[in-house]
Amino acid sequence: MVAVEGEGSLVGYCLRPTGTTTARGALHDPCGLQVLVCQVLNEKTELARERSSRRIAEWFRDEVLDRPKLQNLRMLKAKAKRAMEMTKGRIAELIGEPDLLRQVAIRSTFLATINTVLNI
């Protein structure tokens, strides 16, 4: 048994000796086909690993692991923002002024900017 090493982590084993000489003196490699098959299989395995790694990375890209307080804070901020938007819409509907919604949005954006600057 002779070890035949190829690209990457490929190590194939041939049961026949490699590099035998034919009658014409040309080098004949009986393990060549095995090496090619192993190379193709290794390439397919690597591509599958890369695909699964990318998929897992996409799943966890936005997740904050081991930081539940930060996750809860983000969820509460998003919930408060949705409630604020709904309240602004209801106030504008009750009063009937379409311009009121724009004014309230500008004011809340201004206050959020001021709060951000002051917290820094």
Mean pLDDT by 10 residues, the chain (120 residues): 45 48 49 71 84 73 61 80 78 66 71 71
Position 6 scores a pLDDT of: 46
Position 16 scores a pLDDT of: 46
Q: Cα–chain-centroid distance for residue 104?
A: 38
- For 10-32, give one letter per residue: b (16+ CB within 10 A) or e: eebebeeeeeeeeeeeeeeeebe
Question: Which tokens belong to 103?
Answer: 């004014």
Position 120 scores a pLDDT of: 58
Q: CA 10, CA 36: separation in Å to the nearest integer?
A: 10
